[in-house]
Chains A and B, each alone.
Chain A
């Protein structure tokens, strides 16, 4: 299996560990990722709240390369994935718009390329999930986890490709195959506040607190995410929160690929565990998942 890989800006900076663990896990599961050469930023929310044309042109300038090379695109960042897929769907529906965008990007995008989020690769029945189960080397069954999807992996339905927008399952299934104890909880698809952490801290903290608290109340040791913005909101702001008893939380926020990598027995330094702000190593040592010296 070979895909055009769109890492996006976050995976080259704040979420390098997502990039690292994605590459490591894909390699292990025989999925070949070809990074789109000289890819550019998808524009994210600032683009679609500023100019519709910009929000289509930036993603499609990247997808054109993939289409010319007959590859489908995979993006691990929920926001990049969403923008790439929405842009593709929009120009599929509207030939005039497609022409307009093609003039802007000086390319010829037809809209044939498919856009996947990384989660889809492991849950679309191509055998990766089974392979993951077969190749599992570390026992993670004592690790209680909740899967947090946030907004863009669940909504809108036709973009996210979920059966139930209120209760997506793809990440739960993968974590299950990786051998974790996946708990049910109520805040799978609640919003983390996205960039409100920058523009309105108070609101952002309230939203993050609700998610962290609910996860802790459900009995989780950690939270699995598939979006760099969700990750940094839950991870960076956690130190500012206290539970009802005045205690600080200590819930590591893993990228789901890091957990897959752990299950596959990959070395911890290949998964960027050290880079997480809430250090997951004490928890993993405690559960005898990794050695004392790691």
Chain B
């Protein structure tokens, strides 16, 4: 594959952002590939974990952020525990996801609630079974998960399942086996009442403000 390398300044800039976010010295990676050899999901990744690290070293931001790798990563930490250079790759994957979200590159993602898009995804899910875009699924799941926590203080699975299914076009799928879980009383129909709800809201909004001002500084 042929890539045009960015100018040296831009190269350093992207690497230093990720280094700062993750607290890792990415220059240390000497591309031995041990991380990828042990990664349980490397098989399904468009680019392997060590390739993503190489992209960062070379300042190839677009490549690092656009592959399914960072979304398929299950944070299993196998790479981080095995890297001979003690690089915490799982943390670097987190940083890439966070950066992606912050820079709103996800606007390109076909995940939205617009009727046209929803119809398209639904049609696709009929055609391809459950072959959806992992990036938009992960974003939808994370986003809804945190919205539930922000609202209720705790996870409310029934709400999460309902919203996730509607939003992701999994409407008629049994991914989450909602009915069976209800039958076994595995999930609650009513959210739990947490007395510190306002406190949770406060935590979320304070962090939102802090991160906004930090991003502006950058």
Which stretch from A52-60, A111-119, A218-226, A245-253 is at the chain B interface? A52-60
Which stretch from B10-18, B94-102, B115-123 is at the chain A interface? B94-102
Query: Is A16 in contact with B40, judged by CB distance below 8 angstroms?
Result: no
Q: Which residue of A lies closest to B165 (CB)?
A: A198
A199 within 8 A of B: yes
Cβ-Cβ contact count across A and B, 8 Å cutoff: 157
Query: Is B185 in contact with A275, judged by CB distance below 8 angstroms?
Result: yes
Contacts of A41 in B (CB 8 A): 149, 153-155
A131 within 8 A of B: no
Query: Is B199 in contact with A61, judged by CB distance below 8 angstroms?
Result: yes
Contacts of B27 in A (CB 8 A): none
Contacts of B132 in A (CB 8 A): 200
Bound CA span A13–B211, Å:
32
A203 within 8 A of B: yes
B55 within 8 A of A: no
Knowing A14-B187, A40-B200 are in contact, say whether A49-B194 is a contact too (CB < 8 A): no
Bound CA span A80–B203, Å:
18
B34 within 8 A of A: no
Which stretch from B1-9, B46-54, B57-65, B71-79 is at the chain A interface? B71-79
Query: Is B78 in contact with A49, judged by CB distance below 8 angstroms?
Result: no
Query: Is A104 in contact with B210, judged by CB distance below 8 angstroms?
Result: yes
Query: Is B149 in contact with A40, judged by CB distance below 8 angstroms?
Result: yes
Other-chain contact of B44, A12, A104, A203 (Cβ < 8 Å)? A203
Query: Is A165 in contact with B137, judged by CB distance below 8 angstroms?
Result: no
Contacts of A207 in B (CB 8 A): 40-41
Contacts of A16 in B (CB 8 A): 185-186
Query: Is A48 in contact with B72, judged by CB distance below 8 angstroms?
Result: no
Other-chain contact of B76, A44, A100, A151, A197 (Cβ < 8 Å)? A151
Bound CA span A13–B192, Å:
10
Which stretch from A171-179, A187-195, A282-290 is at the chain B interface? A187-195
Q: Which residue of A lies closest to B181 (CB)?
A: A14
Interface class of chain A by DSSP = helix
Query: Is B207 in contact with A53, judged by CB distance below 8 angstroms?
Result: yes
Contacts of A49 in B (CB 8 A): 75, 94, 97-98, 142
Other-chain contact of A54, B75, B88, B207 (Cβ < 8 Å)? B207
Query: Is A203 in contact with B97, judged by CB distance below 8 angstroms?
Result: no
B184 within 8 A of A: yes
Contacts of A194 in B (CB 8 A): 74-76
Contacts of A61 in B (CB 8 A): 199-200, 203
- Nearest-neighbour CB distance to chain B for A4, whole angstroms, equals 16
Q: Which residue of A lies closest to B195 (CB)?
A: A38
Other-chain contact of A48, B94, B180, B206, B211 (Cβ < 8 Å)? B94
Most-contacted residue by chain A among B72, B77, B98, B164 (CB, 10 A): B77
B127 within 8 A of A: no
Query: Is B77 in contact with A151, judged by CB distance below 8 angstroms?
Result: yes
Query: Is A200 in contact with B75, judged by CB distance below 8 angstroms?
Result: no
Contacts of B186 in A (CB 8 A): 13-16, 275
A241 within 8 A of B: no
B204 within 8 A of A: yes
Bound CA span A14–B41, Å:
26
Contacts of B66 in A (CB 8 A): none
Bound CA span A12–B157, Å:
10
Query: Is A236 in contact with B77, judged by CB distance below 8 angstroms?
Result: no
B146 within 8 A of A: yes
- Nearest-neighbour CB distance to chain A for B153, whole angstroms, equals 5
A277 within 8 A of B: yes
Bound CA span A48–B145, Å:
12
Bound CA span A45–B146, Å:
10
18 A-B contacts (beta carbon < 8 Å): A9-B155, A13-B155, A15-B186, A16-B186, A49-B97, A50-B98, A52-B94, A53-B207, A103-B206, A155-B78, A198-B141, A200-B72, A200-B134, A201-B175, A206-B43, A236-B181, A275-B184, A275-B186
Q: Which 9 A-B pairs have the closest CB atoms?
A: A9-B155, A191-B76, A155-B77, A46-B142, A199-B137, A46-B145, A151-B76, A41-B149, A191-B40
* Chain A residues packing against B (C-beta within 8 Å): 9-10, 12-16, 38-41, 43-54, 57-58, 61, 100, 103-106, 151-152, 155-157, 165, 190-191, 193-203, 206-207, 236, 275, 277
